[in-house]
Amino acid sequence: MTGLLLLAFASAGAPIPALPPGLRNLWRDGTVVSRGRRSVVVGHHTGAATLGELARRADTAGTRVSDVLGEPVTPLVVVPASTAEAARLAGVGRLDGLAAVADGGRVIVVPEFFAALNSVGKDVVLAHELTHVAAGTGGLPVWLYEGFADYVGYRDAGLPVRTAAAELAAEVRAGRLPSALPGPAAFAADGRDPARLARAYQEAWLACRFLADRFGEGTLVRLYRDARAAGVDQALAAQGLSVDSLTARWRAYVRDQLG
């Protein structure tokens, strides 16, 4: 069950004692709160049905992330009234094309783009962003934190790999294998090459999926935590890998999975 609560403020910026930090004092009016079993969702002029659905999905995402990380996860989700408001909250200029972002310990939903996703896509996006929040990203190469978030996001989604990695599969079938793990330039969300951006996520996802398939999910999670603490080179070395040897094995895995 989820509870819905409409909050009226006597004065602008009044604190909401029951809300965790990061969800307080977001807006002067129109704040609506929905609580799931483990999640808290705060919306701005958001309909009750939308917010209740998000609380249920945030609960599902929390369970999925918790299952992989082996620790409790409490999703905090913010639903602004518009894409522009989401961008302001996240402190970025534009959010075009993104359905949600991780920011400051919470997931910010971008309402227009999130609403355009199907049910599976919504759950994948929430689990992906919640993974960033729960596992952290600092000190890691982008392929590792985006790939890990997609690993968690797609783990229970029930999609065939060729469907979830459709853009990369088309490249592989055309005889073009990626030569290197995707770097920051491949993840530039500037709208110039959406297919390249999609492939960057798929390449990163399959690198983490390879590590889980070959060494076990527990090893992938350990490697991620080791990389956060000591750097990716040392974390890979603990598994007898280097970036070069991982790259070679990842390329063979991509060809095998998508060719």
Annotate each residue in 180-219 with x if it binds Zn ion (CB under 5 A) or - if it does not, as one string: ----------------------------------------
Least CB distance from residue 140 to Zn ion, whole Å? 11
Least CB distance from residue 209 to Zn ion, whole Å? 15
**Residue among 105 and 216 whose Cβ is closer to Zn ion:** 105
Rg over CA atoms, the chain: 19
N-to-C CA span, the chain: 44
**Residue among 146 and 171 whose Cβ is closer to Zn ion:** 146
Least CB distance from residue 128 to Zn ion, whole Å? 6
**Residue among 143 and 253 whose Cβ is closer to Zn ion:** 143
Which residues does 118 contact at the CB level (< 8 Å), separation at least 6? none
**Residue among 33 and 149 whose Cβ is closer to Zn ion:** 149
Least CB distance from residue 171 to Zn ion, whole Å? 21
Least CB distance from residue 152 to Zn ion, whole Å? 11
- Segment near Zn ion (CB under 5 A), from 23-31, 140-148, 157-165, 168-176? 140-148
Neighbours of 18 (CB within 10 A): 12
# binding residues, Zn ion (CB under 5 A):
2
- Residue 126's DSSP bridge partners are none
**Pairing between β-strand 3-6 and β-strand 76-79 as defined by DSSP bridges:** unpaired
Tell me which residues in 145-174 interact with Zn ion (CB under 5 A). 146, 149
How far is 112 from 119, CA to CA, in rounded Å?
Answer: 15
Which tokens go with 129? Answer: 């962003």
Annotate each residue in 77-116 with x if it binds Zn ion (CB under 5 A) or - if it does not, as one string: ----------------------------------------
Least CB distance from residue 28 to Zn ion, whole Å? 30
Q: Given the rule CB under 5 A, which residues bind Zn ion?
A: 146, 149
